[in-house]
Amino acid sequence: MVIFETDGAPNSRADATIVSSGADSYYPIRIKDPSDITNGQNEFPNWGTYADSEVFTVVQQIAALNTASPPGYSTSRKPALVYSIGYRSLFDPTNSSLPRQAAALTFLQSVQNYGNVSSDMKGANFPDSQLVYGSPSDRQTRIQTAFTNIMQAGVQVSLLE
């Protein structure tokens, strides 16, 4: 399970080509030494113009079957799940007249659709319980509710010692 939290209005691109080795696949974005970001051993993504489709491609790769080429993280019995949480005043119902709100909700719902969580890409169907906005205490309550609902949505989570 992946929880993708965003303000719903992504505008910066960071793109990397997937690397596949047998049953393992990953995007090479690694920082060897965070205290020295200019270290030549760091692997950075490509920067450029942002496109929603690139996010959807990554989510589709995560949700792909582990037998795909390159492999994803789903099995025929247990699909990988990618949930979205929208965070920011853009999602406040008092701002529903903003055209960006509808586009952001469609983006979040589409991520969930590609991530095996939602059956459609209609922004109007994105769950209100996964939107975080309001006063600081409201945001705290709403994000706790979002995580609680996601964790109780049928995924069995085990904690091992």
User: In angstroms, rounded to a whole number, what is the distance separating the alpha carbons of residues 72 and 24?
Assistant: 8
Question: pTM score, two decimals?
Answer: 0.80
Neighbours of 120 (CB within 10 A): 12
pLDDT of 131? 97
Instruction: Report the C-alpha gap between 91 and 143 in whole angstroms.
Output: 13
Please say if the pLDDT value at position 149 is more than 90. yes
Q: What pLDDT is attached to residue 44? A: 66
Burial class (CB in 10 A: 0-12, 13-18, 19+), 57: middle
Q: What is the pLDDT of residue 159?
A: 63
User: What is the Cα Rg of the chain in Å?
Assistant: 17
Per-residue pLDDT of 61-81, as tens digits, reads 999 999 998 899 999 999 999
Tens of pLDDT, residue by residue over 86-113, are: 998 999 999 888 889 999 999 999 999 9
| Residue 121 confidence class, pLDDT cut points 50, 70, 90 | very high
Strands (E), 17-152: 19-21, 24-26, 46-48, 82-87, 131-132
**Maximal CA-CA distance, the chain:** 50
* pLDDT tens readout for residues 44-57: 666 667 788 888 99
The pLDDT, as a whole number, for residue 160 is 66
Lowest mean pLDDT among 17-21, 53-57, 114-118, 144-148: 17-21
**Whole-angstrom Cα distance, residue 63 to residue 65?**
7
Q: How far is CA 132 from the centre of its chain?
A: 15
Give the residue among 3, 6, 2 at the shortest CA–CA distance from 107: 6
Q: Taken in order 147, 122, 89, 115, is the CA torsion positive or negative? A: positive
More confident residue, 109 or 8: 109
> Domain ranges in the chain?
2-151
Strand spans (E) along 16-123: 19-21, 24-26, 46-48, 82-87
Kindly indicate the confidence band of residue 135, based on its pLDDT and cuts at 50, 70 and 90.
very high
